[in-house]
Structure 1
Amino acid sequence: MIWDPHYECMSREDLQAIQLDRLQATVNYAYEKVPYYKALFDEHGVHPQDIKRLEDVHKLPFTGKEALAENYPFGMFAVPMKDVVRLHASSGTTGKQKVVGYTKRDIRTWANLVARIATMAGVTDEDIAQICFGYGLFTGGFGLHYGLEKIGATIIPASTGNTERQITMMQDFGTTALVATPSYALYMAEVAEDMGVDTSRLKLRVGLFGSEPCTESMRKELERRWHIRVTDNYGLTEFGGPGVAGECECGEGMHINEDHFYPEIIDPETGEVLGYGEEGELVFTSLTREAFPIIRYRTRDISMLINEPCKCGRTTIRMKKVTGRTDDMLIIRGVNVYPSQIETVLLETEGVAPHYQLIVTRKGYMDDLEVRVEVSENYFTGKFKELEELESSLRSKLNRTLGISARVKLVESRSIERTMGKAKRIIDLRSKD
Structure 2
Amino acid sequence: MIWNEDFETLPREAIEALQLTRLKQTVERVYAMVPFYRDSFNKAGITPADIRSLDDLQHLPFTLKQDMRDNYPYGLFAVPLDQIVRIHASSGTTGKPTVVGYTKRDIDTWSELMARSFMASGASRGDVIHNAYGYGLFTGGLGAHYGAERLGASVIPMSGGNTKKQIMIMQDFGSSVITCTPSYSLYLAEALADEGIDIADLKLRVGILGAEPWSESMRGEIEEKLGIKAIDIYGLSEIMGPGVGIECIEAQHGLHIWEDHFIPEIIDPVSGKVLPYGEKGELVLTTITKEGIPLIRYRTRDITRIISEPCICGRTHLRIERLSGRSDDMLIIRGVNVFPSQIESVLCRIEGVAPHYQLIVDREENLDSLEVQVEVNEQTFSDEVKQMQELSAVIRKDIKDLLGITCKVRLVEPKTIARSEGKAQRVIDRRQG
Q: TM-score range by the shorter chain?
A: over 0.9
Q: Aligned equivalents of 2:143 and 2:227: distance in 1?
A: 25
CA deviations 1:34-86 (Å, max 9, x no partner) are 11000000011011000000100011011111101111111111111111110
Seq. identity, %: 54
The corresponding residue for 2:74 is: 74
Q: Aligned equivalents of 2:431 and 2:37: distance in 1?
A: 37
1:377 aligns with 2:378: yes
Amino acid at match of 1:315: T
CA deviations 1:155-180 (Å, max 9, x no partner) are 11111111011111111111100111
1:259 aligns with 2:260: yes
The corresponding residue for 1:400 is: 401
Q: Aligned equivalents of 1:147 and 1:371: distance in 2?
A: 39
1:210 aligns with 2:210: yes
1:348 aligns with 2:349: yes
The corresponding residue for 1:195 is: 195
The corresponding residue for 2:9 is: 9
Amino acid at match of 1:258: E
Q: Aligned equivalents of 2:201 and 2:278: distance in 1?
A: 41
Scaled by the length of structure 2, the TM-score of the pair is: 0.99
The corresponding residue for 2:316 is: 315
Q: Aligned equivalents of 1:85 and 1:62: distance in 2?
A: 27
Amino acid at match of 1:354: P
Amino acid at match of 2:170: M
Q: Aligned equivalents of 2:102 and 2:379: distance in 1?
A: 49
Amino acid at match of 2:355: P
Gaps (5+ residues) in structure 1? none
- In the TM superposition, what is the alpha-carbon distance from 1:407 to its structure 2 partner? 0.4
The corresponding residue for 2:22 is: 22
Q: Aligned equivalents of 1:427 and 1:95: distance in 2?
A: 19
The answer to whether the Cα contact below 8 Å between 2:380 and 2:388 also exists between their aligned partners in 1 is: no
* SS of match in other structure, 1:242: strand
The corresponding residue for 2:285 is: 284
- In the TM superposition, what is the alpha-carbon distance from 1:128 to its structure 2 partner? 0.3
The answer to whether the Cα contact below 8 Å between 2:73 and 2:98 also exists between their aligned partners in 1 is: yes
Amino acid at match of 2:52: K
- In the TM superposition, what is the alpha-carbon distance from 1:244 to its structure 2 partner? 0.6
Amino acid at match of 1:17: A
CA deviations 1:391-412 (Å, max 9, x no partner) are 0110111111111101000111
Q: Aligned equivalents of 1:382 and 1:389: distance in 2?
A: 11
* SS of match in other structure, 1:239: coil
Q: Aligned equivalents of 1:212 and 1:270: distance in 2?
A: 26
Amino acid at match of 2:252: G
- In the TM superposition, what is the alpha-carbon distance from 1:192 to its structure 2 partner? 0.6
* SS of match in other structure, 1:211: coil
Structure 1 runs, 4 residues or longer, greater than 6 Å off: none
* SS of match in other structure, 2:380: coil
The corresponding residue for 1:49 is: 49
Q: Aligned equivalents of 2:190 and 2:292: distance in 1?
A: 42
The corresponding residue for 1:61 is: 61
1:160 aligns with 2:160: yes
Q: Aligned equivalents of 1:137 and 1:416: distance in 2?
A: 27
CA deviations 1:236-294 (Å, max 9, x no partner) are 11111011101112112111100000000011111111111111110000000000000
CA deviations 1:176-229 (Å, max 9, x no partner) are 001110001111111111111001221111110011112101100000010011
The corresponding residue for 1:423 is: 424
Q: Aligned equivalents of 1:92 and 1:64: distance in 2?
A: 14
The corresponding residue for 2:224 is: 224
Amino acid at match of 2:102: Y
Q: Aligned equivalents of 1:94 and 1:110: distance in 2?
A: 27
Amino acid at match of 1:119: M
Amino acid at match of 1:45: G
* SS of match in other structure, 2:432: helix
- In the TM superposition, what is the alpha-carbon distance from 1:380 to its structure 2 partner? 2.1
* SS of match in other structure, 2:67: helix
Q: Aligned equivalents of 1:96 and 1:359: distance in 2?
A: 27
Amino acid at match of 2:401: R
The corresponding residue for 2:362 is: 361
The corresponding residue for 1:239 is: 239
CA deviations 1:323-363 (Å, max 9, x no partner) are 01100000111111110110000111111110100111111
* SS of match in other structure, 1:271: coil
Amino acid at match of 1:299: T
Amino acid at match of 1:60: L
Q: Aligned equivalents of 1:48 and 1:110: distance in 2?
A: 26
Q: Aligned equivalents of 1:351 and 1:277: distance in 2?
A: 36
Instruction: Indicate the larger mover: 17-26 or 199-208.
Output: 199-208
- In the TM superposition, what is the alpha-carbon distance from 1:382 to its structure 2 partner? 3.7
Q: Aligned equivalents of 2:177 and 2:413: distance in 1?
A: 32
* SS of match in other structure, 1:322: coil
* SS of match in other structure, 2:379: coil
The answer to whether the Cα contact below 8 Å between 2:139 and 2:241 also exists between their aligned partners in 1 is: yes
The corresponding residue for 1:391 is: 392
Please show how residues 61-210 of structure 1 align to structure 2 within 5 Å. Answer: 61-210=61-210
Scaled by the length of structure 1, the TM-score of the pair is: 0.99
Gaps (5+ residues) in structure 2? none
Q: Aligned equivalents of 1:213 and 1:6: distance in 2?
A: 31
- How many equivalent pairs are there? 432
* SS of match in other structure, 1:397: helix
The corresponding residue for 2:271 is: 270
Q: Aligned equivalents of 1:243 and 1:30: distance in 2?
A: 23
